[in-house]
Structure 1
Amino acid sequence: MTTMKPSESIVMIDRRVTLKWLAGAMAVGQLAACGDQAKGLTWPEVAAIKAQGIGVDPDLINPVVPWPLTMTQIELAAAAKLADIILPAEGDAPAPSKVGVPAFINEWVSAPY
């Protein structure tokens, strides 16, 4: 009979794999909304976006956002936290919240496409 050292039975898992597992575990919790329990639920009323759609190439030298941004401060804070959890700062790479990812997401979800 051979004996294993405790260090031989330990599997090293990096932070990104752990974050993927965590994201998967959080997604599984949302599946309850897909079953019979979700019957009778309604979506909240959301105001229609009244901005005119775009039809020309954007001016990348002088960027303009011609539509109103729709995310609240609470939603922006949540987007910042989630972005930092999904892709944390590492080495020379800053956290997404430090390079404007929440503002980018706000512009994209607010666009009247």
Structure 2
Amino acid sequence: GDVAFRILDNINRVKQRGLPDGFNDALESETRIYVCDINPNMLNVGKQRAAAKGYGEDGSLVWVEGNAESLSFQNESMDGYTIAFGIRNVTHIEKVLSEAHRVLKHGGRFLCLELSHVSLPIFKEL
């Protein structure tokens, strides 16, 4: 949910900048962020947090119960794919990556956020 909220915040900032006629309408009508989780309880927590913060009232957030190893989305249907703190929790990482590749449009962006203990000295300073 948090990543979806940040994406929506960025889209709203772009809208507020005053884009050429028609572009705002297209951006608003095309904005759909799918929040997918295998755990229905986590989806409910996300929905509650979204409602409390006023996100998704316009239908821009779509909540989907699903498995990252076998997504229900069509091939090449997504402009972006994010996974945060999830790769480490799946059974078959290669299946998750394959599914991400399958659903991404050509030129789409894959963003993976994982944090762990840093063992390389050069990165400890960052």
Say yes or no: TM over 0.5.
Answer: no
Structure of greater relative contact order (alpha carbons < 8 Å, 6+ residues apart): 1
Computing the radius of gyration from Cα coordinates, the structure with the larger value is 1
Higher strand fraction (1 or 2): 2
TM score, norm. by length of structure 2: 0.27
